Amino acid sequence: MIHLCADTDIEDNSARGLQGEGYNLIAVRKKGQLYLYNNRCPHRGIPLEWMPDQFLDHGKHYLQCATHGALFKIDDGHCIAGPCANDKLTAVDFEHRDGQIYLVG
Ligand code: FES
């Protein structure tokens, strides 16, 4: 398993990028629940952000792709608007252990 970060590194209603050898992920927390997705927009197969850790829309309700504005639900990665509507971000399995987050697989 790969260590990603401390659980406390991802504050509620925030998102950040986690990059390392072989992975580029979005970690996002909403209502205390943590979600992890591959940082790859299904429209063009590129990362969502232009600025580091800028993944959320203005209202912090959705993940937003900076290139063409696609909006993704935080809790399941489903695209609700934009050029890849009805596609989705790929969820990534992770594990909590002793206050740390690990990538599974
Ligand atoms: S590359 Fe993400 S919406 Fe086009």
Mean pLDDT score, 59-74: 98
Q: Which atom of ligand 1 is nearest to the CA of 46?
A: 1
Q: Encode pLDDT of 24-44 as tens digits.
A: 999 999 999 999 999 999 999
CATH number of the domain within which 45 lies: 2.102.10.10
Number of Cβ within 10 Å of residue 13's Cβ equals: 13
Residue 105: what pLDDT?
75
Specify the residue with its C-alpha closest to ligand 1, atom 3: 68
- pTM as predicted: 0.96
Domain of residue 74, residue span: 2-103
Domains in the chain, number: 1
Amino acid at 14: S
Going from the Cα of 47 to the center of ligand 1, the distance in angstroms, rounded, reads: 9
